[in-house]
């Protein structure tokens, strides 16, 4: 079995176990990183065999050159901004951070792991078939997790990990309602785009039994996921889902009114229960302890107050921040805004490079959506793009970029979008 095939199998396992077992997900993530390094080392060894030099200095210079060539990632538009982000992270560790070992752990376990995940994905997925298997496994896993969420709502405990409900809010196998909501929003982004392209004709279902079974399964999963998303009562996930559907409606004009109808029905069903379950509205706290406090302190579980603290940190350290992975250590709090926390830790320079990465990915998605002719690839690209918009919207209200599981999902979304040109070329060559 080739290294690329082993890497794909590891990705299949990762996406299946991601919501079910953190330990298994991290194990497969580690194996993916190991295979990535193994592949690069193999290339390096092959290149070294042809290394010749007249003296030590000449040979050493050639070795350094070959080393960088061997470890150079596959060509894609994210290479440059990712490299700049890595250098900024190293500067933060060496020159900025008051806790360099903590920053180093964050660099290896978060930034570097995310980049390796992304690069391994775009290198190992080389055909439409590979992506189809991956998305199918994602939906199979999501089916189990959604059913577990319904069981948790009915019995108080999910059957995958034995987690109890967070108050009266569903988490399924996830550690929090916000994480579960983020995961469901991404799953729904793929389901919505697939269903939007379906032509529901009875004769097609009668002639193609597998198509009928798959469509019924995905339709039930769509309903289950929507119900579970509602039962999380996670306002940030709800807002992200609504923004993503609106974005989808503007990209696909014919789906705009359907998207708006889904949002209206969803809010009509679950919004009244939000007040009953959490004693809050969609944007403000109405709990008794907040009666004598201002809107700034009580809005969104005090998020505005946390944001104000983060802005003060940024004001004092605007260019390079206070050090990678050190905000919680310095303040004993999370910002509940991934963008502000990133800026507080790595400064405006770090935020600028991160926005450069996002702009590059979304630009690639936009232009490729206009050109893609393959229906399946276009649906998956559209789903990944909407999922990314949902993820980034929720990241504005939560620290989901600092969750290991959700960072893996973020890296996978980037990988799906950026691998599309390669898959399109492969399909073009296959079809002659």
pLDDT in tens, 64-90: 778 778 888 888 999 999 999 999 999
Residue 88: per-residue pLDDT:
96
Q: 96-100, 110-114, 205-209, 295-299: which range is least confident on average?
A: 295-299
pLDDT of residue 69: 81
Predicted pLDDT at 102? 96
Spatial distance between the Cα atoms of 397 and 267, rounded to a whole number of angstroms: 19
Mean pLDDT, rounded, for 288-297 = 40
- Cα 358 from chain centre: 12
Which band of pLDDT confidence, cut at 50, 70 and 90, is reported for residue 400?
very high
pLDDT at residue 431 is higher than 50: yes
What pLDDT score was predicted for residue 278? 83
What is the C-alpha separation between 416 and 131, in angstroms, rounded?
A: 8
Lowest mean pLDDT among 22-26, 61-65, 104-108, 126-130: 61-65
Region 105-110: mean pLDDT is: 94
| Residue found by looking up tokens 């889902």 in the block | 241
Give the model's pLDDT for residue 313.
95
Arithmetic mean of pLDDT, 146-175: 95
- The residue extents of the domains of the chain are 1-72, 73-283+300-430
Q: Residue 78's closest CA among 415, 404, 408, 425?
A: 415
Instruction: Output the CA–CA distances (angstroms, integers) from residue 232 to 102, 119, 164, 176, 273, in the order listed.
Output: 33, 33, 13, 9, 11
Query: Sign of the CA dihedral 34, 40, 42, 45?
Result: negative
Which region among 38-52, 182-196, 258-272, 274-288 has the lowest average model confidence (pLDDT)? 274-288
- The whole-angstrom separation of Cα 73 and Cα 373 is 27
Helix (H) or strand (E) holding 358: helix 338-371
pLDDT of residue 115: 96
Taking only Cα atoms into account, the Rg of the chain, rounded to an integer number of angstroms, comes to 23
CA distance 270 to 287: 19
The token pair at 149 is 């969420």
Distance CA 85, CA 139 (A): 32
Q: What are phi and psi of 276, to 5 degrees?
A: -70, -40
For residue 80, the model assigns a pLDDT of 95
CB atoms within 10 A of CB 164: 11
Question: Is pLDDT at 312 greater than 70 in this prediction?
Answer: yes
φ, ψ dihedrals at 275, nearest 5°? -65, -40
Query: Which residues, 6 or more positions from 101, have their beta carbon under 8 angstroms from its beta carbon?
Result: none
Give me the pLDDT at residue 211, please.
73
Q: What is the mean pLDDT of the chain?
A: 89
Q: Could you tell me what percent of the chain has a pLDDT over 90? A: 70
Query: Does 196 score more than 50 pLDDT?
Result: yes
pLDDT score, position 282: 75
- What are the Cα distances from residue 394, in Å, to 90, 236, 407? 28, 5, 13
- Assign 288 a pLDDT band (cuts: 50, 70, 90): very low
Give dist(CA 389, CA 245) in Å, integer: 10
User: 286 pLDDT exceeds 60?
Assistant: no
Looking at residues 249-257, what average pLDDT do you find?
A: 88
């Amino acid at each position: 079995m080739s290294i690329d095939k082993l890497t794909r199998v590891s990705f299949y396992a990762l996406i299946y176990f991601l919501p079910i077992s953190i330990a298994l997900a991290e194990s497969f993530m580690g194996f993916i990183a190991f295979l990535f390094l193994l592949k690069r080392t193999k290339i390096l060894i092959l290149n070294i065999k042809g290394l010749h030099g007249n003296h030590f200095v000449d040979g050493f210079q050639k070795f350094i050159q070959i080393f960088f060539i061997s470890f150079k990632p596959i060509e894609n538009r994210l290479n440059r901004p990712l490299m700049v982000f890595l250098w900024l992270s190293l500067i933060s560790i060496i020159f900025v951070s008051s806790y360099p070992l903590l920053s180093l752990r964050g660099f290896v376990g978060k930034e570097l792991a995310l980049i390796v995940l992304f690069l391994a994905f775009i290198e190992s997925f080389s055909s439409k078939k590979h992506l189809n298997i991956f998305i199918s496994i994602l939906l199979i896993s999501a089916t189990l997790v959604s059913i577990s969420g319904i069981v948790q709502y009915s019995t108080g405990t999910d059957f995958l990990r034995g987690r109890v409900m967070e108050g009266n809010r569903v988490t399924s196998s996830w550690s929090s309602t916000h994480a579960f909501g983020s995961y469901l929003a991404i799953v729904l982004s793929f389901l919505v785009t697939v269903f939007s392209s379906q032509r529901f004709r009875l004769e097609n279902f009668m002639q193609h039994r597998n198509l009928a079974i798959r469509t019924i399964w995905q339709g039930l999963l769509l309903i289950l996921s929507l119900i579970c998303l509602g039962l999380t009562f996670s306002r940030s996930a709800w807002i992200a889902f609504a923004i993503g559907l609106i974005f989808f409606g503007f990209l696909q004009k014919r789906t705009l009114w359907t998207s708006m109808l889904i949002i209206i029905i969803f809010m009509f069903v679950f919004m009244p229960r939000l007040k009953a379950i959490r004693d809050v509205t969609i944007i403000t706290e109405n709990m008794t302890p907040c009666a004598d406090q201002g809107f700034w302190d009580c809005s969104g579980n005090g998020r505005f107050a946390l944001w104000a603290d983060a802005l003060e940190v940024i004001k004092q350290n605007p260019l390079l921040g206070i050090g990678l992975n050190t905000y919680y250590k310095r303040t004993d709090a999370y910002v509940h805004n991934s963008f502000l926390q990133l800026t507080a830790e790595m400064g405006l320079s770090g935020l600028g490079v991160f926005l450069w990465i996002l702009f590059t990915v979304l630009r690639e998605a936009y232009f490729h959506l206009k050109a893609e002719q393959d229906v399946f690839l276009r649906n998956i690209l559209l789903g990944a793009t909407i999922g990314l918009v949902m993820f980034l919207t929720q990241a504005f209200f939560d620290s989901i970029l600092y969750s290991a599981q959700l960072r893996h999902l973020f890296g996978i979304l980037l990988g799906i979008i950026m691998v599309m040109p390669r898959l399109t070329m492969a399909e073009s060559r296959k079809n002659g």
